[in-house]
Amino acid sequence: MIATDLATVLGDRDGPLVSTAEHVLAALRGMGVDNAAIEIDGPEVPIMDGSAAAFIAAIEQAGIVTQPAQRRFIQVLKPISVKIGDSFGEIRPHANGFRAEVEIDFANPVIGRQSYAFDLNPERFRREVGRARTFGLMCDVARLWGAGYALGASFDNTVVFDDERLLNTEGLRYADECVRHKVLDVIGDLALAGLPLLGAYRSVRGGHKLNHAVLTALLADRTAWRVVEGEAVRRTTRPVAETGRGIVGGRIAAAYGPDVS
């Protein structure tokens, strides 16, 4: 992982890069997939509609199989916190699975302050978070384009605001879609631990950089976590091999930090 300003960029500085990986990683983690290989033929994961919905649909179409092994998790043992400017992030022990508590606070009056708490499971992820789209301000578009970012952004894949209103004619998918998308990003960014996390994560005015800073701090403190095993949380349907397409067997390794594979 080498960049986090506007998206999560994976790779080595002198080698191939894959940008905007957070939505497909969120779909895998949110749907309970922790063993997959992904083929990509370009430097950026397709933005699709700006959410994880297309990746969720692909996972459901392909099906998920339960392997003959127990799942492995990273269990958080003590609180770890990071402050970057006016952004604050903390991950702490949690008795039941993974929980995200996210708060955003924008000067833009249309977005304003929003908060959302979310206990991760596949059904809630699909229904409450997976369809939340990326968002931005119209005043930032020229700056982003000039820097070579968001070149494919449009009203079809981005929720756009000016100082007075939402500009997308079809409206929002959720009244608090912006903060729900931040939850989606949290799930994708923290998937880079390499194993599902058992803990609660709190983000205040955060983003990709804060998420990765907290995860880096957690993994750097070997007394703050341990690897545990447990039963798979879900069983499905068709083996992936029956579909001949989509997500196939493989693995996701930790992007950085201690080797927990």
Distance of CA 192 to the CA centre of its chain: 9
Distance CA 254, CA 260 (A): 7
Match 């990746």 to its residue by tokens. 55
Q: Which helix (H) or strand (E) holds 208?
A: helix 208-220
Q: What is the DSSP letter of 225?
A: E
- Beta-sheet strands, E only, within 152-224: 159-161, 197-204
Q: What is the DSSP letter of 193?
A: G
What values do phi and psi take at 70, rounded to 5?
A: -75, 150
User: Checking phi first, is residue 92 left (phi over 0); if not, alpha (psi -120 to 50) or beta?
Assistant: beta
Whether residue 201 contacts residue 80, with contact meaning beta carbons closer than 8 Å, is answered with: no
Cα dihedral across residues 133, 137, 142, 144: positive or negative: negative
Active-site annotation, residues: 208
Whether residue 228 contacts residue 198, with contact meaning beta carbons closer than 8 Å, is answered with: yes
Match 């708060």 to its residue by tokens. 103
